[in-house]
Amino acid sequence: MIVTDNTGLARILETHRVIAMVGLSARADRPSNSVARYLMARGFTVIPVNPAASEILGQRCYASLHDIPAKIDMVDVFRKADDVPPIADAAIAIGAQSLWLQLGIINEAAAAKAAAAGLDVVMDRCPKIEYARLFG
């Protein structure tokens, strides 16, 4: 389902604690890096997905969602909207529970497909901002 309400956002953030972050940058000045550090400091497991790196923030980095051996709760996307459809397909294929598209990222077709497959979908929001807003 497409999630836009506070109750749904809080449920996702409380229960989807293992996050594959697609497009996580190794550069500390990038928003993805800041979001990952924030979430890790609050007990989330963040698994970097970036084919250009082997390790980010002390975590092994994977080239694709299919390469991750762990169960993934949330796929958090830091890629442009046009890149989302194959990421959504991969999120469905690996059995993720949610697909979260960062601020400025909206892809209605990919969101509808993921939602139809049973994933919770959040678009144009940041889990760091929503966590701080909902949980302080």
Give the DSSP H or E segment for 60: strand 59-60
Mean pLDDT of 63-77: 97
pLDDT of residue 136: 84
3-state secondary structure of 44: coil
- Whole-model pTM over 0.75: yes
- Residue 38 within a domain: yes
> Quick check: is 20 in a domain?
yes
Residue 20 in this model has a pLDDT that exceeds 90: yes
Q: Has residue 1 been placed in a domain?
A: no
Is 79 part of a structural domain of the chain? yes
How many angstroms separate the CA atoms of 89 and 98, rounded?
12
**CATH number of the domain encompassing residue 130:** 3.40.50.720
User: CA-CA distance, 29 to 38, in Å (whole number)?
Assistant: 13
Rg (CA), the chain: 13
3-state helix, strand, coil in the chain (%, to 5): 40, 20, 40
| Number of domains composing the chain | 1
pLDDT value of position 42: 97
Whose tokens are 């989807």? That residue is: 16
Domain presence at residue 112:
yes
**Where do the H-state alpha helices sit in the chain?**
6-15, 31-41, 84-93, 108-116, 127-135
| Residues spanned by the domain of 47 | 6-135
